[in-house]
Amino acid sequence: MGSPHRVDRRRAQRRLSPEADWQVRRFLREVRHPLFDDEFVAELEVAYGKTRGRKPLPPALLATVILRQAYDQVGDADAVVTAKMDKRWQLVLGTVSEEESPFSQGVLVRFKERMVAHDLARKLLDRTVRLARESGKFDWKQAKAALDSSSLLGAGRVEDTWNLIGRAIRKLVETVAHVLDHDTDELVERLDLGFVNTSSIKVGLELDWDDPKQRQEALNRLLEAAERLRSWTHVHAADETKEPPLGTALGALERVTQQDMEPEPDGVGSRIKRGVRKDRMPSLGAREMRHGRKTRSRLFNGYKRHIATMADHSLIGGGRWFFRPTSPSIKPRPRSSKTSVGTPRSTSCSSTEVTCRARRCRGSATAGCAYGPSRGQPATAAASPRTTSRSS
C-alpha cells in the first residue's frame, strides 16, 4: 500500500511549467544568504525559541520550507514526505545527502504558529518579493485573473439599537469601575443607571412598548444616561480614556449611540432613523461584523472575503477579507454590460473579464462573483485594486 501522505506530482506539474519551477528553485538557492541575513535569522531564532528534548533545527531551513510549500501548494504532512523524496526540494533546502526528512510535521506546525505570533510570516514574504524584484529575473507580463467573492457568517450576537446601547452602557460601567477601582453597584446608583442591572435593558426601562410616546421617552432616557456616563468618565478618567480597555469601551458607546440616530424634525431630541447605515456595527461581541447581502432577498451578518486566482496555473494571486460587506439598505447595482464569460470554478456565477499584471503568468482567465446568475452584484465589484495582485 502506498503512503497516505503521497504527493500528487501530476497535479503539481499541471500547475507549474518545468521552466517556471526551475526558475523558482534557482532563485531560492541564489537569494538564500541575503534573504536570511544575520538580523532576520536572529528574529527567527527568537520566535523559534528553545526546543525541549529535540535537536534544534535552523529556523532558516523551516522558513524555506514554508516558501516552497506556498509555491507548490503542499500541506504540512506532504511537505515532510516531499522533503525526503523530492531532489528538487532537497536542492533548495541543502539536504541532498540526507536520507530522512530534516523536520517533522509537528515541528513545522509549531514553527508556523510562532512565525504568525511574531508577525514574521508577512515579513518573510515581503523580503522574498523585494529580492525577486531586485534580482531582475522576473519580468512583468500581461495576465488575467479569476476573481470571486463569498460571504462569511459572523459568530457575534446581533442586537437592535436598544440592546446595543444598553449593553454598551453596562460594559462601560464595568470597565470604568475596574480601571478606577470603584464598586460597580455604587457607580450605577450614583449615575442613576439602575436599568443596566436588570436581566434585560428593555425590562429595566419599564414601559409600554405599544405606546410610541413611551418608547420615545425611554429612548431619550437611554441616550441621556449614555451621555451622563460618558461625561463622568471624561472628567474622572481623562487619561485612561486614551488607551484600552477604557478607550475601547467608550468608543463603542459613542458608536452605537450615533449610528442609528437622527435629530427630531423639531430639533429637540433624537429618534431612531429608518433604514440601515452602510457601516452599522450590529454586535458588540464581534465589532468587525457588518450587515451584508448575498442576493436581493438573502441577507447575512458577518464578513466578505475575496480571492484572485491565476487561471492558467491555478495559483492564488491575492486575497482579502473585508470587514465591511455591502449594506442591505443599498440596492445591488445592475449587472455589468460587459461581455459575460464562464468562470472555471463556479459555473453559476456571472463574470466579467478582468485583467491584472503578474510575473511569468500567461493565458486567459475570468472574473467571477458569488452572487448568483441573475440577482447578484457585478463581478467588477470584487475586482478592486486591493484584490488584483501581482504574483511572483
CA 208 to chain centroid = 43
Q: Tell me the residue length of the chain.
A: 392
Task: Enter the pTM of the model.
Answer: 0.52
The pLDDT mean for the chain works out to 75
CA 113 to chain centroid, in Å, comes to: 17
CB proximity list for 207: less than 8 A, separation 6 or greater: 214, 215, 217, 218
Instruction: State how far the Cα of 124 lies from the Cα of 113, in Å rounded to an integer.
Output: 14
Span 237-264, pLDDT tens digits: 999 999 999 999 999 999 999 999 999 8
Blockwise average pLDDT, block size 10, the chain, 392 residues: 42 52 79 88 82 75 90 88 89 86 90 88 88 76 75 89 93 94 92 88 86 90 94 93 93 94 87 88 91 87 82 54 48 39 32 33 31 33 34 36
DSSP string, 242-288: GSTTHHHHHHHHHHHTTTTEEE-TTSSSEEEPSS--TT----SSSTT
Nearest to 244 by CA among 310, 306, 146, 178: 178
pLDDT for 265 equals: 87
